[in-house]
Structure 1
C-alpha cells in the first residue's frame, strides 16, 4: 500500500465524521428501546448481548492470567465460556463478574467513540472484537452467529452512506446500553424460580460469601449508572436542541 493509501486509511479510521442530527439520536434510542422491550425482537437481537457477555468473561479470564479454553454460543441465546486456573481467588471472581457488565461497558466505550464522532473507528473496532471472539468459538452455531454479525458490520462500515453508518452505530450502542439491563432482570426471575442454581451471581456468592442477590443488584446498579453515563455522551450535547420549540 502506498503512503497516500495509508494516509487515506488512517484518516478514514481516526477522522471525525460530521455531527449526526439530533433527530437521529432520538429515533435510534427509541428503536433500541423497542428492540429490547418487544420479546420477539429481543429474542433475535439478544445474541449480540450474549456475544458481549461471553466476550467479557473471556477478556477478564485472560487479563487475570487464566487460560481460555473456548466460548460457546447457543441457539437459545445462552452461552458458556470455559477457562482454566484457580477455582477461587480474584481472577475467578473478576471473570464471573465481567459477564453481566460487559454489554453495558462495551456500549459505554461505543458511546465515548460516538461522542467524538469516531463512527468508522467504532465499526472497525467492532469487527476486530468479533474476529477475536470468533477465534475462540468452539461450536458451529457460535461461529455462524459471529460471522453473520461481523458480515453485517463490515458491509455497513464499507459500503453504507455516512448517514446509514451513523444510524447503525447509534442504534447498536443504544441497544447495548439499554439491553445490558434486561438480562439482569431475567437472571433474577429465573433464580427466583430455581432455574439457574449455577448462575454467575450464585457462583460469586459461593466464592465471596456475599448473597447472590447482592451480586444481581450490583450488576443492575452498575449497568444503570453506565446507561446514564452513556446517554449523556450520546445525547447530552443535543438535549437543548431536542427540547427546543419548533420555529
Structure 2
C-alpha cells in the first residue's frame, strides 16, 4: 500500500463531513424511537443494546486491570461477561456499573462525533470495537450477532454514499441514546414484581453497601441526561 493510498484512507476516515439536513436527523430519531417503544420491535432491537451492555462490562474490566475470560450473548437478549480479578474494590465496582451505562455513554460519544461532522470516523470506530469484542465472544449466537453488526457497519462505511452513511450513523446513535433509557426502567419493573436479586444494581449493592435502588436511580439519571445532551448535539441546538 503506497503512502498516497494511506493518506486517502486517513482523510476519508478522519476528515469532517457536512452535517445532514435537520429533517434527516428528525426522521432517524423517529425511526430509532420506533425500534425502542413497540414491544415487538424491541424484542429484536434489544440485541444491539445487549452488545453495548456486555461490551461495556468487558471494556471496563480490561481498563481496570481485570482479566476478561469471555462474553456470551443469548437469543433472549440477555448476556454474560466473565472477568477475573479481585472480587471487590474499585475495578469490580466500575465493571459492574458499566453495563447499564454503556449504551447511553456510547450514544453520547457518538453524538459528539456526529456533531463535529465525523460520521465516517464513528462508523469505522464502531467496526473496530465490534471486531475487538468478537475475539472475546464464547458462543455461536454471540458470534453471529456481532459479525452481523460489524459487517453492517463496515459495508455502510465503505460502500454507500455519504447521505446513506449519515442516515445510518444518526439512526444508530439515536437508538443507543433512546435504547439506553429503557433497560433500567425494565429492571425497575421486574424488581417491583419480586424479580432478580442478582442484577447489576444488586451486585453493586453488595460491593458498596449502597442500596440497589440508589444505583438504579443513578442509572436513570445518567441515561436520561445522556439522551438530553446527545439529542441536543444531534439536533444542533
Q: Provide the TM-score with structure 1 as the length reference.
A: 0.94
Q: 1:133 aligns to what?
A: 133
User: For residues 193-241 of structure 1, what are the alpha-carbon distances to aligned partners after superposition, in whole Å with 9 as ceiling and x for unaligned?
Assistant: 222110000111111111111011000101111111101111124xxxx
Alpha-carbon separation, structure 2, partners of 1:150 and 1:90: 31
User: For residues 138-170 of structure 1, what are the alpha-carbon distances to aligned partners after superposition, in whole Å with 9 as ceiling and x for unaligned?
Assistant: 000000000011111111111111111111000
Give runs of ≥4 in structure 1 deviating > 2 Å: none
Q: 2:193 aligns to what?
A: 193
Q: 1:240 aligns to what?
A: none
State the superposition RMSD in angstroms. 0.9
Alpha-carbon separation, structure 2, partners of 1:41 and 1:156: 22
Partner of 1:137, secondary structure, is coil
Give runs of aligned pairs for residues 3-82 of structure 1, distance below 5 A: 3-82=3-82
User: For residues 62-119 of structure 1, what are the alpha-carbon distances to aligned partners after superposition, in whole Å with 9 as ceiling and x for unaligned?
Assistant: 1111111100000000000000111111111110000000000000111011011111
Q: 2:225 aligns to what?
A: 225
User: How many pairs were matched up?
Assistant: 237
Q: 1:105 aligns to what?
A: 105
Aligned-residue offset at 1:43: 1.0
Q: 1:159 aligns to what?
A: 159
Partner of 1:11, secondary structure, is helix
Give runs of aligned pairs for residues 115-130 of structure 1, distance below 5 A: 115-130=115-130
1:235 corresponds to 2:235: yes
Q: Provide the TM-score with structure 2 as the length reference.
A: 0.98
Partner of 1:81, secondary structure, is strand
Q: 1:86 aligns to what?
A: 86
| Rg (Cα) greater in structure | 1
Structure 1 residue runs without a partner (length 5+): 238-247
